[in-house]
Amino acid sequence: MTEYLTLSMLLFSIGAVGVLVRRNAIVVFMCVELMLNATNLAFVSFARQHGNLDGQVAAFFVMVVAAAEVTIGLAIIVSIYRTRRTTSVDEANLLKA
Amino acid sequence: MLELSWLLIAIPLAGAALLLTWGKESDRFGHLIATACSAASFVLGLVMFIQLAGRDPEDRSVTETLGTWIDAGAFHVEFSFTFDTLSSLFVLLITGVGTLIHVYSIGYMAHDPRRRRFFAFLNLFIAAMLTLVLAADYLVLFLGWEGVGLASYLLIGFWQHKPSAAAAAKKAFVLNRVGDLGMALAIMTMFAWFGTTSIAAVNAQVHSVSGNVATALGLLLLLGACGKSAQFPLQAWLLDAMEGPTPVSALIHAATMVTAGVYLVVRSHDVFDASPTARNFVIAVGFITLLAGAWIGCTKDDIKKALAGSTMSQIGYMMLAAGLGPAGYAFAIFHLLTHGFFKANMFLGAGSVMHGMNDDVDMRHYGGLSKAMPITFYTFGIGYLAILGFPGTSGFFSKDKIIEAALGHNIWVGLAALLGAGITAFYMTRLMLMTFFGQKRWREGVHPHESPAVMTVPLVILAALSLLAGVMALGDWIEEWLEPATGHPVHHELAVPIWVVTVIVLVVVAAGVALAWVLYGRREIADTAPADSEVSVFTRAGRAELYGNNVNDALVGRPATHLTRALVWADAKVIDGLVSGSADRIGEISGELRKPQTGFVRSYALMVLGGALVVLLGLLAVTLA
Amino acid sequence: MMLSLLIAVPLLGSIVVALLPRSADGLLPRYVAFGVSVLTLVMSLALLSRFDIDSGGYQLTEDYEWIGAIGAHWALGVNGIGLTMIFLTTVLVPIVLAASWRDKEHDPAGTNSYFALMLVLEALAIGVFAATDVFTFYVLFEATLIPIYFLIGGHGTGQRSYAAVKFLVYNLVGGLLMLASVVGLYVLSTQQGGATFLHADLMNLEMSQSTERLLFLGFFIAFAIKAPLWPLHTWLPDAAGSATPGTSVLMVSVIDKIGTFGMIRWCLELFPGASEWASPVVLVLAVISILYGALLAIGQDDLRRLIALTSVSHFGFIIMGIFAFSSVSMTGSVLYMFNHGLSTAVLFLVAGMMITRRGSARISDFGGVQKVAPVLSGVLLVGGLSSLSLPGLAPFISEFLVLAGTFTRSIPIATAATLGIVLAAVYILLMYQRTMTGPLNEGTAGFTDLSRREVGSLTPALVLIIGLGFVPQPLLAVIDPAVEPVMSTVGVGDPPQRAPIDLADQTEGDHE
């Protein structure tokens, strides 16, 4: 049981660090996915531990949301790439106050 | 017909409205309409006067109410007019002299492109002045009071393209407004204490309040009178007002409007009867102005300003007489009437002279005009004799009565009045000598000529009136006539017989004439005025109008200007500064708050992480605790 | 129904005007807008047929439930005071529309919105003056900000967005305070037997002294900002300096009157005790307003700001009359609201015509105009004289009633305020002297006199100013009965007449 949670924590940390340090939008994206899947793992482990299906259901929800998010996110990245010829997240700072 | 007072006012008012709204096509005959309106009012006034005279003395007052003007809560004012012995005399003076001046103006203003408007304003003035004297309520009186102020403003500034005329008009209105402040407060006091502003009711009740209220009321009314009648301390506007066309100076600033203050005092005689203090103030004001006006009149080379100084001085006489109480009311009005005739006569004469001299007003450029303008000379001469008080002329009767009454009241006041008579003789003789006698000092290109008949006929009529108006004093007619309106006259016994006083007055007048003859008749008159540094301190002060303007400026004008500037600054910087300042502070705070919004996605992500950690740690702490 | 209809007509009219096709000449929307405003005027006059002048209470009332959950009603009704203000609105709007006829000729695309916004403003103003439910009142009160914001910000000149934002924020702050008080009233009424916002119910609320004072302050500050009372006046000169003349007229003559109107209807009637408590301070502030506004006006070089500042002075008179608690002064104040609306309208509109011709609002850029445009200068003079309260013109009567009524309450206050009449003469005549008299200025040489349309648009106001100066009774007869109930609500009672026959009473009178 602890192993699963440790793995989940490791994956989440890797994903979080990736989001923070990488500039390439695709990689950031993959790191976000990694974090989502880390939580999925935790959900499923806890579901198993508690013996009910709540965690499993939550995991499915996360997958669905992740899929939708990927679709839209990739679309945005593609359109940014088309106009700016780069996928660096630091270049997209138009929202600067 | 006695209930037709309102019609007296309505006729000239309609004339004014007609001329102001009618288009250019009425330029050709507008002045005739105006003159006809004024004349119609005079004829009606005369008929009413005769009818009034036909009644018993105690019956000689008719009050007519047109309707309610204001009715709000406890405040109730009727549009009502009183035609009584006092107002009937004024009606005749205003419309009579007014009509003559209308006629005169037809000639005087013949070449002015805005003549129609001039006549409209004249008619407006007649209507307002009639409202003033006929009003049976102080608020209606105030309506006429401000109406004449407006007409005076419009007419002083009639030649608006001259900045000096526009400034003089404004000055007259503003100084009058200071007086109106007193009037307005007086009317409010009446309302607060008596619950009414009707002249009759206020005068009937004023004896039942404490002396302090009556004194306050009297002083406030006096403030109003000082503004309108150019009395000290609000005298400064009258000399500037000579910027207006000369008929205006004759009608408004000599014969009628400026005497409204005297009318007000006499009309409110119960208020002043109830307060000796207020009466003493009236005497003091008259006393000061009488001498100050004469002083100024001695030093001015501008013929109109010299006459204006004389007007101030003569109104000072009237004020003084009115301040004497029951002993002087009738004489104040009597002198007011005779002064109305001879001063209008002389102003119109001065206008006739200016007309012949290309509108030059400097008497040092005149001289020897008696040959060139005989009619003007003789009529002016009659006015001159009248103002001197030459035996037999109207001024002889009216001025002597005031001096006698003043002597009866207080020896010093009487002596001042006597001294005033001497100074009057001096400056009027000076004016006559500089204008009509001596050698010609005409400027090049000036060809003096007699004025047309339309201007000289009014002069002749006014001269006749100046000569003959003394008949009103025969058998004390004027005192008896005014008794229903001003109360029973009181005579003080003098220590010496009347004829002694008369002789003394004549001696003093003769001395004044002789002095002027010595200074101006025998010697040649320089055709440029000596510079201020060459003349005595008295002349310098007189020329500067006794520094009245400087005092006003130093006491009110300049402080007010500084205050205004300071307030404009404070409004922008302090009051609005607080408002925009607080807006600026909020702006600065948000400026600080937006600095973390860098636009870098990864820094936002870090913040999210940090936030999540804080929440987690917080939860942990709560659970463990 | 009649009052709702009176609100609906200009509102629907504005929608029609806004939706009309944009044409190059923009004539159609102007004619439609003008027609609608005239129709509204006729309808407001028709109100009189159903209105019993002698009765002081609310008439033509209507009451529909609006938001049941919080007890809000759409409730309308007028007394003589409200009716006077509605007349002022319906009379002025056609005048303003006619005078603003060519305001948008340089920008035809904006014609529709400009005229539609004015009609919206008219509808909202009528609603505010007729509302007898504080919720309805509050909503409409705040809604008036929207059209003015766009009229200044969208159609104004100069620093218009600064002025519009300043106007909006300043008034929103006041509105917010009022909202707090409205909520307070709601809470109180819920505690005392059911939520209600109706004026008649709220008058019977019981509240502690401190609560009453707090709620009063919320309303009063909102109204003091609206009516500009010193020191809350600084938004007005900026707003008037950037608005078109028509907007300024609607803003100063009509919308600002909501402040003084609200003081009577909501401050005095709902919080009589607190009003009495505050009156010494308010009277002093009003006198400061009178003198301060006048002095500031003397020092102004911008025509529009000058007129706005004279209004600060005049609003001081109105507020003084209201808080002097004498039926004479209060009647005078209500009449003053009407008369000030007329005289300020004439001044703003003539000033606008001058500014259009000269291309500048600076007084020093004018001079000698009287020579080339006598009619224009004559109209300016009449407007100016009415502003300085010359007897014979309408504002004199109201000003005198205010002063005379205040005098019976407090002699020092009234005396200080009377100084304002001297200052008024200075600021008006100085302005007239500098613009109209003297030699012709270079820039004013090409001045044309007023056109027929311009004269026609101003004539009704001038006729009313002169007519009401001599015959104010028709309006006073409407106002007077409505003032009595307000006075009895306040419960202070008229100051006793001082006419003392014996000396004992009199010394008492002197102590006051």
* ipTM associated with this complex: 0.90
Q: Which residue of B has its CA nearest to C232?
A: B575
Residue contacts between B and C (CB atoms, under 8 Å): 171
Chain C interface, mutation test: which of B574, B579, B580, most C Cβ atoms within 10 Å?
Answer: B579
Confidence category of residue C505, pLDDT binned at 50, 70, 90: very low
Nearest to C104 by CA among C92, C87, C125, C118: C118
- The overall average pLDDT reported for chain C is 88
Q: Please state, in angstroms and rounded to a whole number, the distance separating the CA atoms of residues B30 and B120.
A: 8
Q: Which residue of A has its CA nearest to B590?
A: A97
3-state DSSP percent of chain C in helix, strand and coil, to 5: 75, 5, 20
Give Dmax (Cα) for chain B: 125
Instruction: Count the helix, strand and coil residues of chain A and give each as a percent rounded to the nearest 5.
Output: 80, 0, 20
Nearest 5 degrees, angle CA B326-CA B330-CA B336? Answer: 135
| Confidence at residue A97, expressed as pLDDT on a 0 to 100 scale | 57
Give CA–CA dist C112/C135, Å, rounded: 31
At C439 the pLDDT is 83
Cα–Cα distance measured from residue A57 to residue C507, given in angstroms and rounded to the nearest whole number: 93
Q: What is the pTM of this model?
A: 0.88
Indicate whether C315 pLDDT > 90.
yes
SS3 content of chain B, % helix, strand, coil (to 5): 80, 5, 15
Angle between helices C2-19 and C111-130 (to 10 degrees): 170
Residue B284 buriedness (CB in 10 A; 0-12 / 13-18 / 19+): middle
Peptide bond just before B233 cis, omega within 30 deg: yes
| Residues from chain A contacting residue B595 (CB–CB below 8 Å) | 97
Report the SS3 class of residue C61.
strand
- Tokens 């500039």 identify what position? A23
Phi, psi of C198 (to 5 degrees): -70, 135
Biggest alpha carbon–alpha carbon distance for chain C: 78
Q: Which two three-digit tokens encode residue B472? A: 């009103």
Strand pairing class (B61-72; B75-84): antiparallel
User: Is residue C8 pLDDT above 90, yes or no?
Assistant: yes
Provide the 3-class DSSP secondary structure of residue B284: helix
What was the pLDDT predicted at C499?
A: 58
Residues with Cβ < 8 Å from C19, sequence gap 6 or more?
none
Catalogue all structural domains in chain A, each as residue range(s) with its CATH number: 1-84 (1.10.287.3510)
Closest Cβ–Cβ partner in B74, B142, B161 for C328? B74
∠ Cα A46 A47 A50 (to 5°): 80
**C-alpha–C-alpha distance, residues B421 and B413, integer Å:** 13
Q: In the structure encoding, which two tokens stand for residue B381, read together? A: 């001469």
Residue B597: its chain A contacts at CB < 8 A? 95-97
Rg value, chain B, Cα:
31
Q: What is the mean pLDDT of each run of 10 residues along chain B (625 residues)?
A: 86 91 83 92 93 87 89 88 91 93 90 88 94 93 93 90 88 91 93 90 87 90 92 87 89 89 92 90 92 89 90 91 88 91 92 86 84 89 91 88 87 90 92 86 83 89 90 83 83 79 91 89 78 81 83 86 88 87 90 82 86 94 90
CB C116 within 8 A of CB C15: yes
Residue B389: DSSP 8-state:
T
Note whether C439 contacts B163, CB cutoff 8 Å: yes
Q: How far is A17 from chain B (nearest CA, A)?
A: 9
**Rounded percentage of chain C residues whose pLDDT exceeds 90:** 55
Residue of B nearest to C393 (CA): B143
φ/ψ of residue A82, rounded to 5: -65, -40
Are C9 and C40 a contacting pair, CB within 8 Å? yes
Smallest Cβ–Cβ distance between B598 and the set A16, A23, A96 belongs to: A96
pLDDT of C503 strictly over 50: no
CA gap B224, B494 in Å, rounded: 33
The closest of B168, B285, B299, B180 to B233, measured between CA atoms, is B285
Residues 575-604 of B with CB under 8 A from C: 575-576, 579-580, 583
Strand segments (E) across B34-156: 61-72, 75-84
pLDDT at site B46: 94
| CB C385, CB C339: distance < 8 Å | no
Q: At B144, which amino acid appears?
A: G
Distance from CA of B385 to the nearest CA of C (A): 40
Residues 6 or more apart in contact with residue B119 via CB below 8 angstroms: B19, B30, B31, B33, B34, B35, B102, B105, B109
Residue A95: what pLDDT? Answer: 66
User: What tokens does B147 get?
Assistant: 């109406």
CB pairs under 8 A between A and B: 32
Q: What is residue B28's DSSP assignment?
A: T
- B and C in touch (3+ CB pairs within 8 angstroms): yes
Neighbouring subunits of C (3+ Cβ pairs under 8 A): B
**Which of A23, A28, A94 is nearest residue B599 as measured by Cβ atoms?**
A94
Nearest to C416 by CA among C507, C221, C306, C285: C285
Q: Which residues of B479-501 are buried (b: 16+ CB within 10 A; e: fewer)?
A: bebbbbbbbebeeeeeeeeeeeb
Contacts of B569 (CB under 8 A, 6+ apart): none
**Closest to B606 (Cβ–Cβ): which among A20, A28, A90?**
A20
| B600/A contact by beta carbon, under 8 A | yes
Residue with tokens 């009453």: C212
Q: How far apart are CA B199 and CA B218, in angstroms?
A: 14
Q: What is the pLDDT of residue C508?
A: 39
Q: What Å distances lie between residue B503 and B115, B335, B392, C156, CA to CA?
A: 48, 20, 14, 79
Instruction: Find the mean pLDDT for residues C307-328.
Output: 93
CA distance A51 to A76: 40
Instruction: Convert the pLDDT of each residue in C214-249 to its tens digit.
Output: 999 999 999 999 989 988 888 998 899 889 999 999
Amino acid in position B339: H
pLDDT over threshold 50, residue C509: no
Q: Indicate the SS3 state at residue C65.
A: strand
Which residue in the set B599, B600, B605 is minimally distant from A19, CB to CB? Answer: B605
Which residues of chain B neighbour A96 with C-beta distances below 8 Å?
A: 597-599
Q: In chain C, what residues touch B190 (CB-CB under 8 Å)?
A: none
| CA–CA separation, A12 and B256 (whole Å) | 105
Give the single-character DSSP code of B493.
Answer: P
Interface test with B, best of C173, C295, C330 (most B CBs within 10 A): C295
| Inter-chain CB proximity B602 and A16 less than 8 Å | no
Nearest to C385 among B150, B178, B575 (CB): B150
Residues of C in contact with B13 (CB under 8 A): none
Angle at B468 (CA atoms; ends B465, B469), nearest 5 degrees: 70
CA-wise closest residue to B48 among B97, B88, B107: B88
For residue B132, the model assigns a pLDDT of 93
3-state secondary structure of C104: coil
**Residue C503: closest C-alpha in chain B:** B210
Neighbouring residues of B262: CB distance < 8 A, sequence distance ≥ 6:
B225, B229, B315, B318, B319, B322, B332, B333, B336
Per-window interface: A 11-50 vs B, CB < 8 A: 16, 19-21, 23, 28
pLDDT at B50: 92
Is residue C219 within 8 A of residue C62, CB to CB? The reply is no
Task: Please say whether the beta carbons of B228 and B133 come within 8 A.
Answer: no
- Residue B161: which of C371, C421, C433 has the nearest Cβ? C371
